[in-house]
Structure 1
Amino acid sequence: MKAILGTTVLSLSALLSTTAFAQDTTFTINSFGGAYETAHRACIITPFEEETGVSVNVVTAYSADAFAQLRAQKDAPQFDVIHFSGGQEIVGAAEGLLAPIDAASLTNAADVYDFAKANLAKGEGPAYSIAAIGLIYNTDAVSPAPTQWADLLNPEYSEHLVLTDISNGYGMLGFLMLNQSQGGDLNNIQPGLDAVAKLLEAGALIVSTSPEIQQEFAQNDAWIAPYASDYAFTLRKAGLPSGFAQGAEGTPASYITTNVVAGRPNTDLALKFVDMSISPEAQECFAEALRYSPTNSKAELSAEVAADVAYGEEGVAGLIRFDPAVIEANRTAWVEEWNKTIAR
């Protein structure tokens, strides 16, 4: 009888701890739609709902739109947790739209790489996935594999190179890395523009979207393209021989962050959601599904998955984050110069 009573008490306790979260709670987040949102649900949202009993309202909104909504709702925020991939958390935290996070409130924070949790106390949520930008290449046509960004200037690739317009976020990061490999920096993008002009003269092609990259690899004998690690996996799933290489000069990265919105009543729930997002299990799931790089040092990936991402201490050591605030401040001027260059 004692054992049965003990079990009953434990079961009741677990039930109460779950329903305590669930009662009269509206919990709202954003996600990015498509395959990403499918993975988001499988890796984090559904496990969170099952553990807490809370139903998550998912608003499909990319980073810029989500941030615009967050600003517009400043006096009455609707999101409990908000996700960004373009660095909007830096501005949001500075404007007081995001709540500071005490690392001690996250059970998984100790295992997250330092760069991914550097400004929790300022309100910048942790990066729970990384889209690493490197060199996607045709494994049948390119041997040996490319090893550096300067390889993009290899004459053998001239008529088989696909660049992405810098109106595309990944295209911007790839261009900035090419610029850096040629001696430029965020104060001087001319070396990169000069390199692009040479590549175009030699036969390179510029596209605007990821589906166009797939089309070029599938139909027009493309061999190499600077783009995100997850897209090499997309090409391979489409039956195309593709690999991903990190350039020796460094790997630009798009940080995908999970942030607690200030002024909402569900702070404990929000912290739990963030904590689950940075768990090794969630990050292994994302890497398996979409080939995003984990930021939790305890995430364990198969050799097949690890080959497609920046993984482990050594893999993430080469990650570079170009300052999102500087990019945003210069975006219009840079796009204007880019358009002049590619129109020649």
Structure 2
Amino acid sequence: MTKTLTFSALCCLLAAPALAQDKTLTISTYSFAQDAYKEALYDPFEAICDCELVIETGNSVERMSKIEANANDPVIDMAVISSHDALALARKDLLAPLDVASIPNHAKLYEAAKDPLGGHMAVGYTFYASSIVYRTDLVEIDSWADLLDEKLAGNVSLPNIIGTQGPLTLMMLGKAAGEESADYKAVISDIGAHADDIVTFYSRSSELAQLMNQEEVIAAPVGRFAWSRFKSSPLPFAWAEPAEGQAGGMNVMIMTKGNGNEELAYQFMDFWLSTEVQTRIAEALIDSPANAEVVVSEEVADNLTYGAELINSLNILPPAEIIDNREAWVEQWNNEVIR
């Protein structure tokens, strides 16, 4: 209790001279878990900042387009987005470099989250692992290569190339095959050769969960944030630990260039990255923490991408590789996989 009051009091002291009741901070974010975020993050910040948070949601394409369309007079102050989408905005000179001195809790982050794009154009606030969920009573998974093995023919699903899991799956299949080139041409060709053995190329984890619970699919790559859909099933699903390791990624915070609301944005970023708030968000099973000081129970941790050992071992695909190769991936995918 004392720690919470001290943190809140400090935020009030920092915010009070500069903020008034008519101050607003406009944030662009995913539509996911907004009621939970309101309780764990938005309402507590408004209570100490004497300000109003305006939350705008939508898919990544819509949100990025709005930032670009209003580049000369930003209507979004800050956003949370995937690291590769953030890099795309940074390359268009739409983002402001972050002054990490204005984000004291930045020092508490895992190293990979501190400067994921270079030039302090973003800061990571959550990690996610990706592995293979499978039926333990029907198959054994030891490698990412098992996804294209004959033992899973007609019973495996792979992610669509344009989804979050698509590039990560290419990376891990490439790693299993010993392919070092980021163009993944051989991997895509191999998937194309096995296309008739794939039940579906899924777009949403909810779609995949339905197929697996209906026993049409017995193995598929999945993000850890969707693990609870399978963990709660009466069927015996497990989270694989393949020989090549787990894939991973992160979502990041960014600030739009020239928005004029930087001070309040920094205060909100720092609040979000604090040990107190990141712990609260983790315990609510909203997001996995990027703050290395967060400690949660084993039960909570089992649902998250949590802990130094796991996070430091993740195979994270560099955002630049996704942006630089995505168009070629999609073209080859459409020609060889979606026939």
Q: Distance in 2 between matches of 1:142 and 1:287?
A: 32
In the TM superposition, what whole-angstrom CA distance separates every residue of 1:99-145 from its partner, at most 9, and x where no partner exists?
Answer: 222222222111101111126872422110112221122355456xx
CA distance in 1, matches of 2:86, 2:122: 7
Q: TM-score, normalised by structure 1?
A: 0.84
Q: Does structure 2 retain, via aligned residues, the 8 Å contact 1:86–1:255?
A: yes
Q: 1:90 aligns with which of 57, 68, 87?
A: 87
Aligned to 1:118: 115
Provide closer, same or farther for how the CA distance between residues 153 and 17 of structure 1 changes in structure 2, counting only shifts above 3 A: closer
Q: Is 1:28 the equivalent of 2:23?
A: no
- Contact 2:183–2:329 at 8 Å: present in 1 too? no
Conserved 8 A contact 1:179-1:190: no
Name structure 1 gaps, 5 residues minimum: 1-10
The structural deviation recorded for 1:215 is 1.5
Aligned counterparts of 1:233 and 1:196: Cα–Cα separation in 2: 28
Deviation at 1:237, TM superposition (A): 4.5
Q: 1:321 aligns with which of 316, 328, 334?
A: 316
Name which of 286, 292, 299 aligns with 2:281. 286
**Aligned counterparts, 1:221-236, within 5 A:** 221-236=216-231
Q: Is residue 178–residue 192 contact of structure 1 (8 Å, CA) maintained in 2?
A: yes
Pairing of 1:231-270 with structure 2 (within 5 A): 231-237=226-232, 241-270=236-265
Aligned-pair distance for 1:307? Answer: 2.5
Unaligned runs of 5+ in 2: 1-8
Is residue 43 of structure 1 aligned with residue 32 of structure 2?
A: no
Q: Could you say what secondary structure the match of 1:247 adopts? A: coil
Alignment correspondent of 2:130: 133
Matches within 5 A, 1:158-307: 158-197=153-192, 199-202=194-197, 204-237=199-232, 241-290=236-285, 292-307=287-302
Shift in Å, 1:309: 3.3
Aligned to 1:308: 303
Larger relative contact order, structure 1 or 2 (CA cutoff 8 Å, min sep 6): 2
Aligned amino acid, residue 84 of structure 1: I
Shift of 1:84: 0.9
What is the one-letter code of the residue matched to 1:190?
K
2:70: which partner in 1?
A: 73
Counterpart in the other structure of 1:338: 333
Q: Describe the shift of the 1:247–1:288 C-alpha distance in structure 2 as closer, same or farther (beyond 3 A).
A: farther
Normalising by structure 2, report the TM-score.
0.85
Give the AA of the match of 2:62.
Answer: D
- Matches of 2:263 and 2:96 in 1, distance apart? 12
Q: Which stretch of the first structure deviates more once superposed, 194-203 or 293-302?
A: 194-203
C-alpha contact 1:291 1:308 (8 A) present in aligned 2: no
Distance of aligned partners of 1:174 and 1:135 in 2 relative to their CA distance in 1, 3 Å threshold: same
Distance 1:186 1:39 in 2: 41
Q: Secondary structure at the match of 2:153?
A: helix
Letter in 2 for 1:138: R
CA contact (8 A) 1:284 1:300 kept: yes
The CA distance in 2 between the partners of 1:103 and 1:46, in whole Å, is 24
Cα distance in 2 for residues equivalent to 1:102 and 1:252? 30
Give the deviation of 1:253 after TM superposition.
2.4
Contact residue 12 and residue 49 of structure 2 kept, 8 A: no
| Deviation at residue 20 of structure 1 after TM alignment | 4.7
**In 1, distance between residues paired with 2:291 and 2:32?**
25
Aligned to 2:6: none
For residues 223 and 282 of structure 1, do their structure 2 counterparts lie closer, same or farther at Cα, with a shift above 3 Å needed?
farther
Aligned equivalent of 1:102 = 99
| AA aligned opposite 2:309 | E
